[in-house]
A and B are shown apart, each in its own frame.
Chain A
Amino acid sequence: DAGVIQSPRHEVTEMGQEVTLRCKPISGHDYLFWYRQTMMRGLELLIYFNNNVPIDDSGMPEDRFSAKMPNASFSNLKIQPSEPRDSAVYFCASSLGQGRDTEAFFGQGTRLTVV
């Protein structure tokens, strides 16, 4: 398996524009996580899914953020409208979520810059 795949790797957009970040989890993993990483706040969990269903979205900062998982092999995170303070690296991770030996596998991240 190629691991968790995120696209794009880099995104530069103007304030007010819609941004869509994409993630393909590892095949067979039934948990998917979206994280945001900044120097100031570290790695923050935004939302996670189990079997394509959103379980906890308490970390989503505002209504401008939304995430969907239409099927087991794809998820997206949308920001509309984007603001400069949304600039961060966004990571997607997936895991089996079962038992003591589970771990979260991270993608390479999408570096978002909102100007």
Chain B
Amino acid sequence: QKEVEQDPGPLSVPEGAIVSLNCTYSNSAFQYFMWYRQYSRKGPELLMYTYSSGNKEDGRFTAQVDKSSKYISLFIRDSQPSDSATYLCAMSAYNFNKFYFGSGTKLNVKP
């Protein structure tokens, strides 16, 4: 079993839709949760991070962590064509030095 599981998609939505992206994990030691966005033929870029359980909002993006269920989510409101990319979740334990990535979900927002 992989440490981090993520549905690869692809996920196709119309512009303006609310998008929900999710990951599950197995290691209860994970405390630091990240979402990276990767455009085609580019390296991943950090989008959001959260520490432990709870929600964090940044503009149209909300990251949610439920440690009891070992489940994290990224919500995108009012999705735009420019949001079309692959979204990877990542996590690490207390030392923050080793990041475990999901396989990524490819999102396509249609104009």
Binding site for B on A (CB under 8 A): 4, 31, 33, 35, 41-43, 45, 48, 50, 55-56, 91, 93, 95, 97-109, 111
Chain B residues within CB distance 8 Å of chain A? 6, 32, 34, 41-46, 49, 51, 88, 90, 96-104
- Return chain B residues, CB-CB under 8 Å to A45: 98-101
Contact B43 A108 (CB under 8 A): yes
Given known contacts A100-B51, A106-B43, is B104 in contact with A43 (CB within 8 Å)? Answer: yes
Please tell me if the beta carbons of B42 and A108 are within 8 angstroms of each other in the complex.
yes
| Cβ–Cβ contact B99 & A55, under 8 A | no
Residues of A contacting B103 in the complex (Cβ-Cβ under 8 angstroms): 41-43
Question: In angstroms, how far is the closest chain A Cβ from the Cβ of B77?
Answer: 23
A103 and B34 contact, CB distance less than 8 A? yes
**Interfacial chain A residues near B46, Cβ < 8 Å:** 103-105
**Bound complex: CA A105 to CA B34 (Å):** 13
Interface residue from A98, A102, A106 paired with B45 (Cβ < 8 Å):
A106
Contact A102 B96 (CB under 8 A): yes
- Selected contact of A100 from candidates B88, B90, B96, CB within 8 Å: B96
Chain A residue nearest in CB terms to B42: A108
Complex-state Cα separation, A33 to B41, whole angstroms: 19
Residues on the B chain within 8 Å of A98, using CB: 96
A42 and B91 alpha carbons, distance in the complex (Å): 15
- Name the one of A33, A97, A108 contacting B96, with C-beta atoms under 8 angstroms: A97
- Inter-chain contact A48/B98, CB cutoff 8 Å: yes
A43 touches B98 (CB 8 A): no
Neighbour of B97 across the interface among A4, A55, A100, CB < 8 A: A55
A9-B90 Cα distance, complex, nearest whole Å: 24
Q: How far is the CB of A79 from chain B (nearest CB, A)?
A: 20
Can you sample 19 A-B contacts with CB below 8 Å? A42-B6, A42-B88, A42-B104, A43-B103, A48-B97, A91-B44, A93-B43, A95-B97, A97-B96, A99-B96, A100-B32, A100-B96, A103-B46, A104-B99, A105-B46, A106-B43, A109-B41, A109-B42, A111-B41
